[in-house]
Amino acid sequence: MSEEYRFLRYYIPGSLFLIYLSGLILANSNERVMQYLSTISILQILGAFIGFFAISPPIGYMIYQIYDWTMYRRLAMCREKRKTLQLIDDWAKEEEVTLEDVKKKELIDFAFYFSLKESNFKMSDQIGEIIRRFWSHVNARLVCSIYVPSFSLLFFFLVLIPITNVILAWDIFTLDLLKTVLILFYVVIFSVFLGYPALETMKEAFALEESVVRIRESEIRVYIKKLKPKKTSNSTSRKIPK
C-alpha cells in the first residue's frame, strides 16, 4: 500500500466526519455563533482549513480501527457471504478435522502463496492483488457510509451539546430539529448510494477468491490431512503368566 493511498484512506473518512459534524453544528448554532463567523478574517479561515486538513487523517485512522474491531472481522469470517470458508469446512469434515477461524484464513492465504511458487500459475498474484483492492474498496465504502455518519451524530449529541451547554455553560446551541432531520436525511441518502456498491464488490472479491482456492484444492487437502490428530493406541500390554 503506497503512502499516498494510505493517506487518502484515512483522510477521506476523517474529512467526511468533520464535514458532517460542522453541518450539524452550524444548523443548530444560535445567533452568537453566526455573528462571530461573520467577523472572522481570511487568515482565520485559512488556519481553520489547515487545522481541518491536519486532523482529518488521525480521525479517519481511529474510525478505521473501530471498524476493524467491530465489523471487518465479522465480514471476513462470515460463512454465509464468504463461501470459501464453507468450502474449506467441508473438506476438513471429510478428513475429520476441526478448524478454527484463524486456520481457515491461513489456508486461504496458503492457496495464493503456494500458487506464486509455480511458474504456470503467476496469474494468482494478479488475482490476489485484485482481491486486496476490492477489499480496500469495500472497507472504504462501509466506513464512509456507516461509521462516519454514525460517529458524527454520536459525537454531536453525546459530546458537544453536553460539554458546551452543561459543563461550560457556553449557551451556543439552539437545537433545531427540522434542520437536523433535513441534514440527516441528505447524509443517509448519500451514505446509501456510497455504501450499496460495496455489496457487489464484496461478492466479486469472494468469487475470485473461491476460484483460486478450488484450483488449489489438492494442496489444501494435503495440508488439512497434516492437521489431523494422530490416533493413539489404547491397547495395554499383557503380562505373560509364569
Domain span at 143: 3-226
Look at residue 139 and tell me whether its pLDDT is greater than 60: yes
Residue 99 lies in a domain: yes
pTM of the model: 0.77
In Å, how far are 7, 65, 75 from 58, measured between CA atoms?
Answer: 10, 11, 24
Look at residue 109 and tell me whether its pLDDT is greater than 80: no
Residue 231 lies in a domain: no
Residue 46 lies in a domain: yes
Q: What pLDDT, in 10s, does the model give residues 11-23?
A: 999 999 999 998 8
Residue 238 lies in a domain: no
Question: How many structural domains is the chain composed of?
Answer: 1
Residue 240 lies in a domain: no
Residue 232 lies in a domain: no
Look at residue 200 and tell me whether its pLDDT is greater than 90: no
Residue 241 lies in a domain: no
Residue 198 lies in a domain: yes
